A and B are shown apart, each in its own frame.
Chain A
């Protein structure tokens, strides 16, 4: 390959930045400044590549060589060997745990090769702060197409026939939403982007806003043109600083290039877009709460007898879609509805981005056609469970989603199939859990989260959830009673039925699904006073199995309170008086000799 078009892409998404990728980036710039290389490769900082755990990620184009966990001190070697002499630096290549070998191009790695990127198509490939980079990859061509060769009716028809459903949670058909809003002639109308990604464990929207902000802008302008709106708002979560910065820069350069503002591309169509910074309230991800927040009020949801497409922001017709949904719009316009429909399943077309996190080997963002099974996601793409421990469950759909046990590993990952087994898609967070995750404590964690984030408007949600937290606290502390389970179930029903917004209506899901699939674990906590995952401290004790212990002494060395005694090469013992149940011995033991017991065994 000639070095003329060579590019060095350094990932500067939040994940890689946390691992000092910016220093790696500047080191490349410095190193290449003082070089005698004839044609200096261009060095670019890009958005998130997805495989955040292995960051910082550096890609060399057009050779398609990807390096992982690159440190500043590796820069010289990459330049000397790879850029100057065309040799690959083996030690920095990705080690594929499924294939058991090092892989030169990330595209051949198990984590990436099953993926099909639409919403994430540009991320990691372009400099998010450069509108030219976006245009080089077909950016703003969809906008040009709609402005000069499509009518609003044709645009809406195209989105309708694509079958695109809202990627923010409920999966409402996007085309329907646009059509309804289009039919109201009550101007002004607004277009809003929901970038208040609040589900813990999901970060695809952050990644899109940081890594490819122009695609969101382009999607929004297309909708605005279709429904005849001249003003839009991007509501971005308070915690997402880099996303706000890159979106702001993108808005400014889109203005400068004539894609926003007055008379867009000479078409006579006007559209202005501004960013609203969220205030750190989970409930503001709910559409009517989000709109109240933009209006300058507290983010309390309202009853939606009248939908926001008719009366939304300032009581005017409003289309609200989430970040990932907007990112799908330009490719659908360019490639056509049929192309999109061909991906995914019949009622769930296209791809979905999942954030695969928790106790899985490859954590990161994964975009796959809908209908891919959970098993493929966790084992083929995710590489299986960390340390090959047993798979226990995944949690999807954020705090108000549900837990899926191993019996359902072959479930198709789409809106409808997930609903059918009591969980939901939500924004696409997939949190993988192994045998060391306590399902009762997890349910308690989610309920505590929701109790804190409930806006307090509906009594059932405000009082009901906190009562459930109290009951769950009792169970995890060892004071649970069997009647508690019935009470949890009846409270769940009431909260579901009598709360106004999605937060309350779905809040009992974590408890309901864990009770359905992991009832034994609740009973173990209540009756046997035992937490077999070793998470609930009052219900856990550790002991060493004399036959399995190899007497290596590692546990005794690592124990913070010196509770473990024994001589080398003979079985060790734990003193329950000094043990603080931190679980260190359990995680360091190389022979699996540390056994978790219940509170009752403690004497």
Chain B
């Protein structure tokens, strides 16, 4: 899958920040993920060449770490915490509601490219369980009832 719309200039800018050493693979991939919202195939070739590593090595990193994704994610990523504290305080019901409101399942992105849902394992905000995070904003003590209005806020703000 080759996406011709990818601007590799930006990837070159990212690579310039790091010396060509293997230990920076994860950091480079994370910057790429942040820049494009995912790790495009073309950038993997570029990184492999820069670090003198096989592309397969870069691919295995991109698929191993949860922070990296091969598919484009939505503008807003809704992270629903399913850590233990959230789980026993009803995060399942919260997850179902978010999925229903957006009509996608966790891991997917809405067709307008606005939202993705991710299930994460503990955000370390257990005292506020159940927790959901959108764009680094924490929503603690979430209930099913609040989901719609929170999502609407982001829809309107797009």
Most chain A CB neighbours (cut-off 10 Å) among B89, B125, B127: B127
**Which residues of chain B in 125-143 are interfacial with respect to chain A, using CB atoms and an 8 Å cutoff?**
125-129, 131, 136-140
Closest to B30 in A: A277
Task: Name the A residues within 8 Å of B121 (CB-CB).
Answer: 198, 200, 282, 449, 453
Task: Name the B residues within 8 Å of A55 (CB-CB).
Answer: 127
Tell me, yes or no, whether B87 is within 8 Å of chain A by CB: yes
**Cβ of A200 and Cβ of B127 under 8 Å apart?**
no
- A280/B124 contact (C-beta < 8 A), A14-B138, A431-B85 known: no
- A203/B125 contact (C-beta < 8 A), A241-B136, A296-B26, A299-B64 known: yes
**Assembly CA distance A45 to B138 (angstroms):** 18
**Assembly CA distance A293 to B127 (angstroms):** 30
**Cβ of A437 and Cβ of B88 under 8 Å apart?**
yes
**Assembly CA distance A199 to B83 (angstroms):** 8
Task: Name the B residues within 8 Å of A19 (CB-CB).
Answer: 128, 140
Task: Name the A residues within 8 Å of B80 (CB-CB).
Answer: none
- A15/B128 contact (C-beta < 8 A), A280-B66, A280-B67 known: yes
Task: Name the A residues within 8 Å of B123 (CB-CB).
Answer: 14, 239
Tell me, yes or no, whether A270 is within 8 Å of chain B by CB: no
- A355/B126 contact (C-beta < 8 A), A277-B26, A282-B121 known: yes
CB distance from A546 to the nearest CB of B (A): 28
Task: Name the A residues within 8 Å of B131 (CB-CB).
Answer: 18
Closest to B91 in A: A445
**Assembly CA distance A294 to B60 (angstroms):** 15
CB distance from B97 to the nearest CB of A (A): 11
CB distance from A159 to the nearest CB of B (A): 28
**Assembly CA distance A299 to B126 (angstroms):** 26
**Assembly CA distance A437 to B84 (angstroms):** 11
Which of B23, B25, B64, B82 touches A281 (beta carbons < 8 Å)? B64
**Assembly CA distance A446 to B131 (angstroms):** 18
CB distance from A192 to the nearest CB of B (A): 13
Task: Name the B residues within 8 Å of A277 (CB-CB).
Answer: 26-27, 30
- B59-73 vs A, Cβ < 8 Å mask (1 yes, 0 no): 011001111100000
- A297/B125 contact (C-beta < 8 A), A239-B120, A445-B84 known: no
- A15/B127 contact (C-beta < 8 A), A429-B84, A433-B88, A582-B93 known: yes
**Assembly CA distance A453 to B138 (angstroms):** 24
**Cβ of A279 and Cβ of B64 under 8 Å apart?**
yes
**Assembly CA distance A299 to B64 (angstroms):** 8
Most chain A CB neighbours (cut-off 10 Å) among B27, B68, B88, B93: B88
Interface size grouping (class) on chain B: 35 or more
Most chain B CB neighbours (cut-off 10 Å) among A14, A51, A437, A582: A14
**Which residues of chain A in 401-433 are interfacial with respect to chain B, using CB atoms and an 8 Å cutoff?**
429, 431, 433
Closest to B136 in A: A241
Task: Name the B residues within 8 Å of A341 (CB-CB).
Answer: none
Of the candidate stretches A99-107, A356-364, A513-521, the one touching chain B is: A356-364
Tell me, yes or no, whether A442 is within 8 Å of chain B by CB: yes
Task: Name the A residues within 8 Å of B146 (CB-CB).
Answer: none
Task: Name the A residues within 8 Å of B48 (CB-CB).
Answer: none
Tell me, yes or no, whether A133 is within 8 Å of chain B by CB: no
**Assembly CA distance A295 to B53 (angstroms):** 13
Most chain B CB neighbours (cut-off 10 Å) among A298, A357, A358, A364: A357
- A18/B126 contact (C-beta < 8 A), A279-B30, A298-B60 known: no
Tell me, yes or no, whether A134 is within 8 Å of chain B by CB: no
**Cβ of B127 and Cβ of A52 under 8 Å apart?**
yes
**Which residues of chain A in 7-25 are interfacial with respect to chain B, using CB atoms and an 8 Å cutoff?**
14-15, 17-19
Task: Name the A residues within 8 Å of B68 (CB-CB).
Answer: 279
- A281/B65 contact (C-beta < 8 A), A15-B140, A19-B140, A296-B22 known: yes
**Assembly CA distance A395 to B61 (angstroms):** 33
Tell me, yes or no, whether B122 is within 8 Å of chain A by CB: yes
**Cβ of B66 and Cβ of A281 under 8 Å apart?**
yes
**Cβ of A200 and Cβ of B85 under 8 Å apart?**
yes
Task: Name the B residues within 8 Å of A442 (CB-CB).
Answer: 87-88
Tell me, yes or no, whether A201 is within 8 Å of chain B by CB: yes
**Assembly CA distance A17 to B131 (angstroms):** 13
Task: Name the A residues within 8 Å of B57 (CB-CB).
Answer: 297
CB distance from A324 to the nearest CB of B (A): 14
Closest to B66 in A: A280
Task: Name the B residues within 8 Å of A206 (CB-CB).
Answer: 124
Task: Name the A residues within 8 Å of B154 (CB-CB).
Answer: none
Task: Name the A residues within 8 Å of B67 (CB-CB).
Answer: 238, 278-280
Besides A279-B66, A296-B25, A582-B93, 19 more A-B contacts (Cβ < 8 Å) are: A18-B128, A18-B137, A52-B126, A200-B122, A203-B125, A276-B27, A279-B26, A279-B29, A279-B30, A279-B61, A281-B64, A281-B65, A281-B66, A358-B84, A358-B88, A358-B129, A359-B89, A363-B126, A455-B64
27 A-B residue contacts at CB 8 Å?
A14-B123, A14-B125, A18-B137, A19-B128, A52-B127, A53-B128, A200-B83, A200-B87, A200-B122, A203-B124, A239-B122, A239-B123, A239-B124, A240-B124, A279-B29, A279-B67, A281-B65, A296-B23, A297-B22, A297-B25, A298-B64, A355-B126, A357-B84, A431-B84, A437-B88, A445-B87, A455-B64
For the complex of A and B, list the 8 residue pairs with the smallest distance between their C-beta atoms, beginning with the closest.
A279-B65, A200-B83, A18-B138, A52-B127, A280-B66, A200-B122, A203-B124, A357-B85
